[in-house]
Amino acid sequence: MPIHLVWFRADLRIHDNLALAAACRNKNARVLALFLATPGQWQRHLMAPRQAAYLHAHLNNLRQQLAEKGIPLLYDEVDDFAAQAEKVAQICAEHEVTDLFYNYQYEVNEQQRDRALERSLQQVTCQGFDDSVILPPGSVMTGNHEMYKVFTPFKNAWLRRLKEGMPECASAPTPRGEEAVPAHASPLDFDYPQQPFDAGLFPPTEKEAIAHLRHFCKEGAGEYEAQRDFPAIEGTSRLSACLALGVLSPRQCLHRLVAEQPRALEGGPGAVWLNELIWREFYRHLMTYHPDLCKHRPFIRWTEQVAWQHDEKQLHAWQQGQTGYPIVDAAMRQLNETGWMHNRLRMITASFLVKDLLIDWRIGERYFMSQLIDGDLAANNGGWQWAASTGTDAAPYFRIFNPTTQGQKFDADGAFIRRWLPELASLPDKAIHDPWIWADKQGVTLNYPRPVVDHKQARAATLAAYEAARKA
């Protein structure tokens, strides 16, 4: 009898899981599942404690769902990727596995681990799948068969390629026998710090994630373009945490979007949220063709010459939401409190760290990863390099957000700021974005810091630093 082993990594779901579906296709095969926790590797990759808690919830949900299909989930904990590969090989030998199924991961360390494992498993057939993307890397290329470096041409080519044939979603497997886990089985656990997450904001089961996706595509995707930039409004999907752990697939997102918003592919309602899915694809494809992006290297090499400042006091003020710029501080406190930040605010806070404080973007990238429940290397790196003007298709280095006017534009009445900065709650709407100008005129002392930098002066210093680096 064939023994099929499905190795789950960042794909914690039973619906539209290409590796799981392929493993279950042979009705005569015995199917086993496997998850190996790697706390040492997670620590090196700065996994946020909230993301660890989210993973923990979904791992236990996955075990129960697999059990209902008659598929036992084997579980163990090892330190890092090297030990992970050794453990997989050991399990394959112990269970006389004939075929190993898994979904590709595109980061450098993960790819090296998989190649090493494939070389060592000479008696096992390894089958990998492009599951975390809608279109696989290499399928959307320029006429010279090179990876696109600019988003818009990539998007146009991606849409043309998609219209040739939309990839289907794979069904969840049909039951293969009796439930595989006894009802009294203790929860799976791992030795890594965990921090509670808000289950109302981040669906803790696959069933709830699917329901959340359906609701957003029906009720929110059509309004996304109009509402997405205003953090006081629940105008975004908040599905990024599900996508980061593979609780939902991007194909599920695409199919549900098109089902609820039929004109999304033609630029109608829902097209702007589709754009977000394509940005996600763009960054994952880029990482495959430019592995240095996984190694803290900028895409635009001359930016390595920027003379960054090393001001621990200013960095701490940014991290703690104490910069004296209300929209920046409210955003950072949202991140620290919830493990999530609104996308417009990710751009504003990243721009502030890099372009106002002139602090190396990689420090901000690492801090975000240490806090984000939706931490994802490709998306986080892509966003930071965009804000820092170091990446492909990045904002030009001379485009520098003014944090005060950004707040005035996207949180005009200060509703978001008041939620996260209660010390400013009683200020008039017009005063809340520049509170010290108002306070000094009124002779009032605020329990809120004065700005750590003057934006106009900081902007000039940043432009000089980038121009010096470009000419170096």
Catalytic positions: 276, 279, 308, 343, 361, 384
Pairing mode of beta strands 73-77, 3-8: unpaired
Q: Do residues 17 and 113 make contact, with C-beta atoms less than 8 angstroms apart? A: no
- At 259, which amino acid appears? A
Question: 114 burial class (0-12, 13-18, 19+ CB within 10 angstroms)?
Answer: buried
Q: How far is Cα 18 from Cα 35, in angstroms, rounded to an integer?
A: 16
**Hey, what long-range contacts does 391-394 have (CB within 8 A, 24 or more apart)?**
391/298, 391/299, 391/300, 392/149, 392/150, 392/286, 392/290, 392/299, 392/300, 393/149, 393/150, 393/151, 393/282, 394/299, 394/300
Question: For residues 235 and 216, what is the distance between their CA atoms, to the nearest angstrom?
Answer: 9
Residues in the chain: 472
- Rounded Cα gap, residues 262 and 390, in angstroms: 37
Q: Decide: 49 and 30 in contact? Cβ < 8 Å.
A: no
Q: CB of 83 within 8 A of CB of 38? A: yes
Q: Please report the DSSP string for 335-360 in residue order.
A: HHHHS---HHHHHHHHHIIIIIS---
Per the structure block, which two tokens stand in for 458? 């900081």
The first and second tokens of residue 39, run together, are 């706390």
